[in-house]
Structure 1
Amino acid sequence: KSLQKLPVTVQIAKRFLLDYRFLSKPSFQTKFMETYHKGEVYWNAVPVDAPFAAPPLLKSSDTSRMMYIWLSDYVFNTMSYNALKYNQLQYNVTNKDLPSGVLNTTCPQSTCIGKIIKAIGTKFPNTTVMLYMKSTSMPNMTAQNGSTVVNASGDIVFFAQQPGGKYTYFLTLSATMSTTISLMIQNEKVFAKVLKLPISVTVKDSKIPVSPEGLNFIVKGIVSVFVEPKLNELGAAGFPLPVINSVHFTNTQLTVAKDTLLIATDLKYSG
C-alpha cells in the first residue's frame, strides 16, 4: 500500500514534468525489494522522450543502509534538452540584475561598461546596455569519479538602449563554461551549489573595437556576477526524489561515479 502513495510524476517550475513511473513491476526478494523507474524530465505540455538513451548505472554491493537510489545524469540532461528546445535558456540582463550602474555607458565617478570599453561610452553616451544571453547547445551534466560538471555554451548579444525604448545592436560574444558543482541530499531532495565557474568568451561579431581588458571585465564584472547566483538559485530549489511523504532520510551518503549518483540512506517514518 505504501507504494501506491509514491509520487510518480512531479511538476518542476510549472513547465517541466519529472517522470518516476515504474518501468516494470516491483521485484520482491527474500531480504529486499527493487523498483525500476523512468527517471526522465519532460516538457509538461508535450511529454515526448528525449532523442538519447540513459547510460548504464554504477553497480554496488553495499548493504549497510536501508534504501539505495540510483540516479543517472540522464535525469538532468533530459531537463536540459527540453529547456533548450522550448526556449527556456535565454534571458535579458539589465541593470536590475547587476550591481548598480555596471551596465551604464557613462559613469564619471564609478566603473561601468562604457568606461572600460571606451568605444561603447563614445558611441552610446548617457544610456545603458542590455545583454541578451542564450544557450546555443544543450547544457550537459557529467558525473564521474566524485565530481559533477556541467558544460554549456551560448551567445551574449549586446544592445544599447535608445530613446523611445529601442535598442541598437553592437556586439556578440561566444561563451563557454565548465561548471563544477557540489551536490548534497536534504529533505529527500538533491541540492546543488557552484564550486567553480570558469567562463571563456571570444568575439563572434562586433561593430566596435573590444580589447582583452574589456572582455575580462565582461566575464568577471558582468557574466559571472549574474550567472553564478542564478545557477545557485536553481540548485537551491532542489530536485525531488521518489519517496512517499511519510518517509524521511537519515544517515545519508551520496556517491558520485560515472554517470551515476548513488544515494545510500537509512529511513525514519513519520506515521
Structure 2
Amino acid sequence: MLCGEVYLKGHKTGYPLPVPRIPPDSDTSRMVFIWITEYLPNSAGYVLQNIGSLQYNVTPDNVPAGEKNRLNTSYAAFDFLTPQVNKMYPNMEMQINIKSTKAPVVKIASTGVQADLVGDFITYAILPNKTLAYLSTLSMSISAKVSMNFTGNNITWNIASCSATLKGVRSAEVPFLTSSLQVELGNTFYLNQLGAVGIPIHQLINLPDGFVFTNPVIYLGEGFLKIGTDLTYTP
C-alpha cells in the first residue's frame, strides 16, 4: 500500500523495476516500525544518474593537505597505470573527474548492505598556465559491503570490505593498462571512524514536537531494512 520512492520534482517517471513486497511481520517488541526496501535508495540512484548529479571533480584545492602528494603525475599509482605520463608531464598536479556511468545499485541482505558503483575516472595534468592536458580514462567498478547497527540513538556503520576493478578505456597516446586490475580498497579507516560515531536518527526521520526515539534497533532482511523503536513524549 505504501511505496517509498525518490523522483525529480515535477517529473515523476517511476523507477523501472517492480516494487518489492514487505514480508508479513508479527513483531510487537517496539511501538513503531519503519520499513525501507531496496526500492528507495535504488530509485534515488536512478534519478540522480539520469540528471547527471553523480559526478565530482577532484582537484588539489579540495583534497586534504596530507593527500595532495597523491594527486601528482609522479605518484607511484599513476606511474604504474600510465608509465609515460611522468616523462611527458613531470611532477605536475592533477585533476580527476569522476563520473558515474550507470545508476548505483544497493542490495540489502541479512548479512549487510552491498553497494555497487560503476563509473569513469578521467585524469588530467594541470599545466603551468592552469589549463588541463588530458591523460587517460579509466573505468572503475566498486563494490562495498557495509554492516549497520544502532549505538544509542545513532545509526552506525562499518565498511567490512571494499574492492574495485580498474580497466583502461583510452589514453593520450601513451602506453596504458588495458587488462582488468582487481584491487582491494583497504583505506576505509576515515569512513569507519565516521561510521563509529554515526548519525542521530532524528536527523533522518522527523518527529512531531515533544516526541523522541527510545531504544531503537535495526534489522536487516532480504531486500529490506527495518527500524524498530519506542517513542517517548514530553509535553
Q: What TM-score does the superposition give when structure 1 sets the normalisation length?
A: 0.69
Match of 1:161 in 2: 126
Question: Whole-Å Cα distance in 2 between the matches of residues 38 and 242 of structure 1?
Answer: 18
CA contact (8 A) 2:109 2:224 kept: yes
Q: Return 5+ residue gaps in structure 2 as ranges.
A: none
Q: Is the 8 A contact 1:188 1:243 kept in 2?
A: no
Secondary structure of 1:174's counterpart equals strand
* Count of aligned pairs between the two proteins: 223
Counterpart in 2 of 1:209?
Answer: 175
Cα deviations across residues 108-131 of structure 1 (Å, max 9, x unaligned)? Answer: xxx555655541110112422211
Q: Displacement of 1:240 after TM fit?
A: 2.0
1:82 corresponds to 2:47? yes
| Of 1, 11, 18, the match for 1:53 | 18
Alpha-carbon distance change, 243 to 177 in structure 1, aligned in 2, over 3 angstroms: same
Q: Distance in 1 between matches of 2:116 and 2:41?
A: 12
Local SS of the residue matching 1:171 = strand
Deviations 1:16-41 (A, max 9, x none): xxxxxxxxxxxxxxxxxxxx544112
Q: CA deviation at 1:142?
A: 0.7
> How far did residue 186 of structure 1 move?
6.9
The corresponding residue for 1:248 is 212
Asked if 1:103 corresponds to 2:71, the answer is yes
In the TM superposition, residue 204 of structure 1 has moved relative to its aligned partner by 1.6
Give the SS at the match of 2:72. Answer: coil
Return the offset for 1:164. 2.9
Tell me the alpha carbon deviations over residues 92-143 of structure 1, each in whole angstroms, 9 at most, x when there is no partner. 112342502212224xxxx555655541110112422211111111101111
In structure 2, distance between residues paired with 1:237 and 1:63: 23
The CA distance in 2 between the partners of 1:73 and 1:143, in whole Å, is 6
* Greater Cα offset, 93-102 or 154-163: 93-102
Unaligned stretches of 5+ in structure 1? 1-35
Match status 1:149 vs 2:153 = no
Give, in angstroms, the shift of residue 77 of structure 1: 1.0
- 1:135 and 1:224 mapped to 2: Cα distance? 21
User: Share of identical aligned residues, percent?
Assistant: 25
* Contact persistence 2:153–2:215 (CA under 8 A): no
Q: CA deviation at 1:187?
A: 8.4
> Who is 2:164 aligned against?
199
Q: How many angstroms does 1:42 deviate by? A: 2.3
Which letter does structure 2 place at the counterpart of 1:164?
N
Assess if the C-alpha contact under 8 Å between 1:188 and 1:241 holds in 2.
Answer: no
Q: What TM-score does the superposition give when structure 2 sets the normalisation length?
A: 0.78
Work out the CA distance in 2 between the residues paired with 1:147 and 1:102. Answer: 32
